[in-house]
A and B are shown apart, each in its own frame.
Chain A
Amino acid sequence: MNDVDSVADVIAVACLLVGAFFCLTAGVGLVRFPDVLSRMHAGTKPQVVGVLLIMTGSAIRLVGSSVIWMLLLVAAFQLLTAPVSAHMVSRIAYRRRHVRRDLLLVDELGGGPDLYRGDEPADAPPEEPAQAFVESQPDQGTGAGDGKA
């Protein structure tokens, strides 16, 4: 009996520690990743697994108490809501151009004349920052061309 208890304790501790580690990497990812879209990856996957593992560890330690059902609910709703919120934030970030395009290999959603750009704000950062900077310089060829036209 005692052995069974200590084995369960070891498993619970392992779950809690690994879960805490995953939550930590989620936080580190939020700080280190370069743009909103990448940060959402850190906010969903390691975060969800971290919470699931912590719930599992707590459930093993709390066997027999009614709190376990609440842990189950927390886990279920974490699984259901984290992807939805990540999707909503990414979608808005993409449409408001908070995307580091220089870090994208391909962008099959962007470009093309038929792209829907319904809710893009007037003060959105330019699509190509470097080019926009060159065009905004008054003594460049583009500026003179504008003056003639």
Chain B
Amino acid sequence: MTASDVAVRRLRNQVPLLVSLVLVWNLLWGTWSWANLISGTVVALAVTWLLPLPPVAGGASFHPLAVVHFLGHLIRDLALSSAQVAWDAIRPSGLRYGAIISVQLRTDSDLLLTMIAETLCLVPGSIVIDLDREKRVFALHLLSVRDDAELEEQRVRVRATEDRVVRAFGSAADIAALDQQPDQPARRPAGRSTS
């Protein structure tokens, strides 16, 4: 009984993954047919059985308005940041100084932190180098900064990105955690040194 319970729970955790695999299979074939659907289901089951992934704990919810807001910002940021990096690449004077900063986040969910990290790689100026999961501290590399004021600007921008992602995909508890510390100063972790 317990064994079948575990199997059922595992299957339920895998459902989003299965659906997306079937969708990708159908998109690859380019046409919609029952044969594609059934063969896709078989392939998806085989893939998840042969290459099992750990279930994503927590799961995500979906807030349509916030998602539109998030996507709008993402597209704008993406265009802005590529124009910026493209200009940095072809500008005769080359790059200014880079910087590595750490930013304290408020979210405590694997899935959301993954999405925030992915988004941060696409918005202006930053690439995630490291993530301290326990302390929830991101380390980011900034491509081009002028002075310390710009570092603070980036910190604020990172936390705004976190805000948008969590409000778009977070559970009620995640959003509540965000509201509890609305404008906690972006403190720097102890033990840092400037080079």
Contact = CB atoms under 8 A, between A and B. Distances in A.
A25 B151 contact: no
B101 A44 contact: no
A115 B123 CA distance: 27
Interface stretch (A4-12, A26-34, A135-143): A26-34
A4 to B, nearest CB: 25
A46 B121 contact: no
A105 B86 contact: no
Given A49-B78, A83-B122, A104-B195, A69 B27 contact: yes
B68 interface: no
Interface string A93-114: 0100000110111111111111
Given A45-B82, A46-B86, A111 B192 contact: yes
Interface residues of B, number: 49
**Chain A, interface size: which category?**
35 or more
> At the interface, is chain A mostly helix, strand, loop or mixed?
helix
Interface in B65-98: 78-79, 81-82, 84-86, 88-90, 94-95, 97-98
Contact of A108 (B78, B88, B122, B139): B139
B30 A72 contact: no
Contact of B28 (A29, A34, A73, A109): A73
Contacts of B81: 45
A110 to B, nearest CB: 7
Nearest to B114: A84
A32 B78 CA distance: 21
Contacts of B89: 25-26, 28-29, 32-33, 42, 46
Contacts, number: 160
A34 B122 contact: no
Contact of B97 (A72, A83, A94, A104): A104
Contact of A44 (B122, B194, B195): B122
A108 B127 contact: no
A31 to B, nearest CB: 9
A91 B129 CA distance: 5
B128 interface: yes
Contacts of A101: 195
Interface of B: 24, 26-31, 78-79, 81-82, 84-86, 88-90, 94-95, 97-102, 117-118, 120-122, 127-130, 139, 141, 143, 145, 147-148, 151, 188-195
Given A32-B94, A111-B191, 10 more contacts: A25-B86, A41-B85, A44-B121, A66-B31, A80-B118, A83-B128, A91-B129, A94-B129, A104-B98, A106-B148
24 contacts: A21-B86, A22-B82, A22-B86, A29-B88, A33-B88, A33-B89, A37-B141, A40-B127, A44-B122, A66-B29, A72-B27, A80-B118, A83-B121, A83-B127, A90-B128, A107-B99, A107-B192, A109-B129, A109-B139, A110-B195, A111-B191, A112-B191, A113-B191, A114-B191
